[in-house]
Structure 1
Amino acid sequence: MPDNTETAGESVAYINALVYTVDTSKPWVSAFIVSHDGFFTHVGSTEAVLSEAKQFHMVVVDLKGHFTMPGIHDAHMHLLYSGLALTSNAAIDMDATHLDIAEKVKHGSCTCEYMNAYQDWVLASAYNNQGFPDGVADRKYLDKLFPDQPVVVSGGAAHAMLLNTAALIQAGYDIENEPDTHGGKFFRRPDGSLTGELAESAMAKAALSIPAPNRAHVKRALKHAIRLAHKAGVTSTQEASSNTIMLQVLNEMEREGSLQLDISTHIVHENEWLASESKESLQKLLEVADQHASKHIDTRFVKIMMDGVPLPPLFTHASLNDQEEIDHSMIVPENVADAVLKYDKKGLTVKIHCTGTGATRHALNAIEAARKSNPGGPRHEIAHNSGVHDDDFKRYAPLNVTAEMSPAELFLHPVTAASEGLMNWNFAKMIDAGAHITIGSDWGAVPDPSLFQHMANIVEIVRKGDKAAGGQVLCRMMTLNGAIAVNREKELGSIEVGKKANFIVMSKDLSKGEFDGAKVLRTYFEGEKVWDANE
């Protein structure tokens, strides 16, 4: 029942729905009431809700039997990267060959919605090495059409980029004699000169040299990204590569009342190419992170890049050798254990990117050391978990580590199948080990960050053939488990009295595992409709 009878009439009653609350004490209801300030005040039957609505003369919305559930928590998104890429970058078909990639960049640079966001530089996404002869990308293909203008094309799941000669020169690379760097990979021609393809920390000079878009355009890009997130049913997320300009603009949006998404901002630890920001600046940001916190911005999070990706031709992941020793040549940051302990003592949750078995074990070791030194520290996360040794699954639950499974697109995919076991998201073993599991899209530039079609690929795997049970498990992973991971389960993640009215209306019953072809009909954030498929 509404707490304040004076404002009860301003509430809205939603009736005749198939509501999966994700609340184990009351998993199924048919109606609820949302207060004028965006909270669930009554969750129950249509009859009871209609009685309240009649008494207080509420507006009533008939959901006409549609499946309704809490809003999605995407545990791994790159909102700014995606927003900029989709509004400002030239688009390249991943199947483009070396013969037409430069033409596509040229065409895209003239037709992207917002030209010149990076001043004279052209950014594009994304190339595929298989489109080049012998799988070798080279700047010469870009140089033909762009002899003087700097061009940067992302690739390798954003862990690599291809630069033309002009971009290499402006970024300060020594094309003939650039030295190797720890955690980085420079691709070279037979004579030792750079091909223009760079991976991991080798991209740092380029990332710091690309002109940053102005704040007005950053806001435009973020609003576009959030709009697409709403379309995918996302009402809360973990931004996995937060930097200074993003937090400044999010704060500006918060002040003007236009931020309609709960965002846990993982501020990047040291990694310059991921944040497009210097180590020194990132450290200063982490020191004052709490000054950027607000109603919808939670800054108690840090992102550490442990290794790279198990994708050809990069193979920058950190594995275990035959003696089960960690390959430290691919471990990017130094003194990881010290960094985790430092943040742990500050009460900050650390999300550690790990794609290889060695990286995952190294991260678990660092978290275990922090637990011994500071037993009451916060829950930490390992991102991706595509490479976990059989002996390490059992360590997640005792260490209170969230297994953030992403990118969802690759759970079952031809690229995954071709990885010869290097990429394996083993949901069954993680569930059997009792790990806390969340789902992330790892959204970066594709037009649709929706998780549903990818869940269709694994729904029978998570409960070993039981599609309906798998549907409910995945619904929880995408909602309440995410809220628990960011320590906001008292506010978000389920449809319960007192929680924020973040919910979605779907075209199919996800609780039965009907993810294939499922569409979001409407998304509500704090009681306000922020997406309607019919509008």
Structure 2
Amino acid sequence: MASYSSNNPGNSTAYINGRIYTIDTSHPWASGFIVSPDGNFGKVGTTDAIRAIAHNSGLVVVDLKGQFVMPGIHDAHMHLLMSALALTSDVSIAMDSTSDNIAQRVKDGNCACHFAHAYGNWIQAAFYDNRGFPNMQADRRYLDAAFPDEPLMIVGGAQHSVLLNTVALEQAGYDIQNEPDAPGSKFFRRDDGSLTGELAESAMTKARLAMPKPSLAHVKRVLKHAIKIAHRAGVTSCQEASANTLEMHALKELEEEGQLNMDIATHLVYAPEWVAGEKQETSKQLLDSAEAFNSKHIETRFVKIILDGVPLPPLFTHCALDSHGDPDLSKLLVQDVKEAIVEYDGRGMTVKVHCAGQGATRLALDAIEAARKNNPNGPRHEIAHNSSVHNDEFSRYKSLNVTAEMSPAFLFTHPVAIHSGGTMDWNFTKMMDAGAHLTIGSDWGASPDPSLFEAMAGVVETVGKGSKEKGGELLCKMLTMNGAEAVGREKQAGSITVGKKANFIVMDKDLSKGEFAGAHVMRTYFEGECVWDKEMP
């Protein structure tokens, strides 16, 4: 009976007749490969060679029928737990909600929500847009009549603001009449100085900390749902950009139960507190014990710092440069960014720094430069977003070994960015000309579809302009190998290469040719197992 095992080589699977873009520079194209029982690529080559091996060994053969195949996508910026809860447990309201109908939409949405009370007696809804309110001024008065007793928090579209009703403000401990201003906070106020209920950046801290946390069982449930959606978008590995203690315990249990089919680099939040929804003391304890959560699919040597806000109305909380070229320090959410990066660099941990303004980007690069002086061969750090970079800064990415993580992808060519006056300009050309290491992230926070393909369609010509490689080929590399390199997994993933994980996707279009528009994932494979099939219910 010992000879009966699904782990012996005879249980490998052969794939033939594919148009396989391997991303492996030594042989970028193949037409077949073999996946071993342990979920790795055992052989990559021509259809004839693979068919011969399959025939001699009696392997199961899958005919790819000429479809385009590439490595699984690495999304460099996802908020798995945030998206999971928003899609399963938050009340869903349309962005076009107005002051006249927002409360009713919350009520109607609440009836349809599967887990209406995932947050104890609090209700969380998403999203509101200030354009739906008179003079763009959201106010709790539009919520109080319908929700006089239940704490209600509605999330703003960029996740950097919330709107609370009066009872939520009171339960969170805000002094509605005399709440003092605080560094990195933006409190919206009525004419008499009292709070409107709209809070931005660190002003959200009390609310985020006061909101009851969902149970661990529920977090596990919704994370599995989010990962399934990611598989539909072809994602087999990602960077969780805002991991907290609750999520780490959920991921650990999923891993122990054999239910985690995604490679996740978890960026544990250092600050500010509202991002993680827990006190910084707890976040630091999590960072100190990070190695305890490492596993086959979870890598924890990553840190997240949100340095400034967003360049969106009515917030404008991004840290810009003033007329003298100095950063606007009043917009900083974290004052000790230099000390933090130096500390965690010394521990061998990669720090991802959210930077939305030119001032924040400069300060983050200055902090990384300080770390390099102490530790020249330290880990590769990351600037998240890169939507506003001063011309003097582009050359520093390569010299400081910094990854330019370009996100959120859906805004690359969005009208909001185009008409932003330069505050949202993802300049792929300058980054590439400067030799920067580029990755791409969806910044998935709640949308039903984190797919990157339509966003890539908008920049493929720009990326390919002036390059020997085609824009589609360059973007495919950014979405795969560059992501693996960013998290130190280039020996295990990022290309279809013998010995690497058999994480791959089958597409209905050839992405190497730049055919991103309207592209769909037909099947997603993680470690050789099909985890998404478009043809299956």
Establish whether TM, by shorter chain, passes 0.5. yes
Residue 435 of structure 2 corresponds to residue 430 of structure 1: no
* Structure 2 match to 1:264: 265
* Structure 2 match to 1:319: 320
Would the aligned equivalents of 1:467 and 1:512 in 2 still touch at CA under 8 Å? no
Residue 304 of structure 2 corresponds to residue 296 of structure 1: no
**TM-score, normalised with respect to structure 1:** 0.98
* Structure 2 match to 1:59: 60
Q: What displacement does 1:156 show?
A: 4.1
Residue 194 of structure 2 corresponds to residue 193 of structure 1: yes
CA distance in structure 2 between the partners assigned to 1:467 and 1:315 by the alignment? 39
Q: Which moved more, 1:468-477 or 1:201-210?
A: 468-477
Provide the secondary structure at the position in 1 that maps to 2:461: coil
Task: Output aligned runs, 1:478-497, within 5 Å.
Answer: 478-497=479-498
* Structure 1 match to 2:256: 255
1:497-516 CA-to-partner distances (Å, cap 9, x unmatched) read 00000000001000000000
- The alignment covers a number of residue pairs equal to 532
CA distance in structure 1 between the partners assigned to 2:377 and 2:186 by the alignment? 39
* Structure 2 match to 1:165: 166
Q: What displacement does 1:468 show?
A: 7.7
**TM-score, normalised with respect to structure 2:** 0.98
Q: What one-letter code is carried by the residue in structure 2 that aligns with 1:453? A: E
Would the aligned equivalents of 1:387 and 1:422 in 2 still touch at CA under 8 Å? yes
Provide the secondary structure at the position in 2 that maps to 1:298: strand
* Structure 1 match to 2:282: 281
* Structure 2 match to 1:328: 329
CA distance in structure 2 between the partners assigned to 1:194 and 1:335 by the alignment? 29
* Structure 1 match to 2:120: 119
* Structure 2 match to 1:341: 342
* Structure 1 match to 2:390: 389
* Structure 1 match to 2:231: 230
Task: Output aligned runs, 1:95-244, within 5 Å.
Answer: 95-244=96-245
Provide the secondary structure at the position in 2 that maps to 1:76: strand
Task: Output aligned runs, 1:498-513, within 5 Å.
Answer: 498-513=499-514
CA distance in structure 1 between the partners assigned to 2:525 and 2:456 by the alignment? 22
CA distance in structure 2 between the partners assigned to 1:367 and 1:466 by the alignment? 29
Q: What one-letter code is carried by the residue in structure 2 that aligns with 1:306? A: L
Q: What one-letter code is carried by the residue in structure 1 that aligns with 2:293? A: H
Task: Output aligned runs, 1:409-428, within 5 Å.
Answer: 409-428=410-429
CA distance in structure 2 between the partners assigned to 1:308 and 1:148 by the alignment? 31
Would the aligned equivalents of 2:7 and 2:37 in 1 still touch at CA under 8 Å? no
CA distance in structure 2 between the partners assigned to 1:256 and 1:433 by the alignment? 45
Would the aligned equivalents of 1:156 and 1:314 in 2 still touch at CA under 8 Å? no
* Structure 2 match to 1:456: 457
Q: What displacement does 1:270 show?
A: 2.8
* Structure 1 match to 2:306: 305
1:340-395 CA-to-partner distances (Å, cap 9, x unmatched) read 00000000000000010000000000000100111111000000000100010010
Q: What one-letter code is carried by the residue in structure 2 that aligns with 1:389? A: H
Q: Which moved more, 1:107-116 or 1:370-379?
A: 107-116
CA distance in structure 2 between the partners assigned to 1:55 and 1:273 by the alignment? 59
Would the aligned equivalents of 2:319 and 2:359 in 1 still touch at CA under 8 Å? yes
1:453-510 CA-to-partner distances (Å, cap 9, x unmatched) read 1100111011128898000000000000000000110001000000000000001000
CA distance in structure 1 between the partners assigned to 2:182 and 2:53 by the alignment? 66
CA distance in structure 2 between the partners assigned to 1:466 and 1:131 by the alignment? 44
Would the aligned equivalents of 2:271 and 2:304 in 1 still touch at CA under 8 Å? no
Q: What displacement does 1:195 show?
A: 0.4
Residue 404 of structure 2 corresponds to residue 403 of structure 1: yes
Q: What displacement does 1:450 show?
A: 0.4
Q: What one-letter code is carried by the residue in structure 2 that aligns with 1:387? A: S
Residue 99 of structure 2 corresponds to residue 92 of structure 1: no
Would the aligned equivalents of 1:480 and 1:492 in 2 still touch at CA under 8 Å? yes
Q: What displacement does 1:285 show?
A: 0.5
Would the aligned equivalents of 2:126 and 2:157 in 1 still touch at CA under 8 Å? no
CA distance in structure 1 between the partners assigned to 2:521 and 2:97 by the alignment? 31
1:11-38 CA-to-partner distances (Å, cap 9, x unmatched) read 0000000000001110000000000010
Q: What one-letter code is carried by the residue in structure 1 that aligns with 2:39? A: G
Q: Which moved more, 1:473-482 or 1:329-338?
A: 329-338
Q: What displacement does 1:398 show?
A: 0.7
Runs of 4+ in 1 over 3 A off after TM superposition: 465-468
Provide the secondary structure at the position in 2 that maps to 1:154: strand
Structure 1, unaligned runs of 5 or more: none
Q: What one-letter code is carried by the residue in structure 1 that aligns with 2:230? A: A
1:86-124 CA-to-partner distances (Å, cap 9, x unmatched) read 000111111111111111111111111222101111100
1:26-69 CA-to-partner distances (Å, cap 9, x unmatched) read 00000000000100010000000001101110000001000000
CA distance in structure 2 between the partners assigned to 1:194 and 1:212 by the alignment? 25
Would the aligned equivalents of 1:468 and 1:511 in 2 still touch at CA under 8 Å? no
Q: What displacement does 1:421 show?
A: 1.3
Q: What displacement does 1:415 show?
A: 1.2
Would the aligned equivalents of 1:90 and 1:122 in 2 still touch at CA under 8 Å? yes
Residue 511 of structure 2 corresponds to residue 514 of structure 1: no
The two structures, once aligned, show a CA RMSD in angstroms of 1.3
Provide the secondary structure at the position in 2 that maps to 1:387: coil
- Identical aligned pairs, as a percentage? 62
Would the aligned equivalents of 1:468 and 1:512 in 2 still touch at CA under 8 Å? no
Provide the secondary structure at the position in 1 that maps to 2:392: coil
CA distance in structure 2 between the partners assigned to 1:270 and 1:78 by the alignment? 16
Q: What one-letter code is carried by the residue in structure 1 that aligns with 2:486? A: A
CA distance in structure 2 between the partners assigned to 1:222 and 1:5 by the alignment? 29
Provide the secondary structure at the position in 1 that maps to 2:219: helix
1:203-226 CA-to-partner distances (Å, cap 9, x unmatched) read 000000110000111011101100
1:176-235 CA-to-partner distances (Å, cap 9, x unmatched) read 000011101000000000000000000000000110000111011101100000000000
Would the aligned equivalents of 1:508 and 1:519 in 2 still touch at CA under 8 Å? yes
CA distance in structure 2 between the partners assigned to 1:298 and 1:393 by the alignment? 29
Would the aligned equivalents of 1:467 and 1:513 in 2 still touch at CA under 8 Å? no
Would the aligned equivalents of 1:459 and 1:467 in 2 still touch at CA under 8 Å? no
Q: What one-letter code is carried by the residue in structure 1 that aligns with 2:207? A: A
* Structure 2 match to 1:82: 83
1:395-437 CA-to-partner distances (Å, cap 9, x unmatched) read 0001000000000010010111232211110000000000000
Q: What one-letter code is carried by the residue in structure 1 that aligns with 2:336? A: N
CA distance in structure 2 between the partners assigned to 1:123 and 1:414 by the alignment? 28
Q: What displacement does 1:163 show?
A: 0.3
Would the aligned equivalents of 2:187 and 2:195 in 1 still touch at CA under 8 Å? yes
CA distance in structure 2 between the partners assigned to 1:305 and 1:467 by the alignment? 36
Provide the secondary structure at the position in 2 that maps to 1:392: helix
1:228-286 CA-to-partner distances (Å, cap 9, x unmatched) read 00000000000000000100010000000000000000000032111011111001111
Going from structure 1 to structure 2, the CA distance change for 1:465 and 1:345 (only over 3 Å counts) comes to closer
Q: What one-letter code is carried by the residue in structure 2 that aligns with 1:237? A: C
Going from structure 1 to structure 2, the CA distance change for 1:202 and 1:43 (only over 3 Å counts) comes to same
Q: What one-letter code is carried by the residue in structure 2 that aligns with 1:147? A: P
Structure 2, unaligned runs of 5 or more: none
Q: What displacement does 1:144 show?
A: 1.8
CA distance in structure 2 between the partners assigned to 1:501 and 1:290 by the alignment? 26
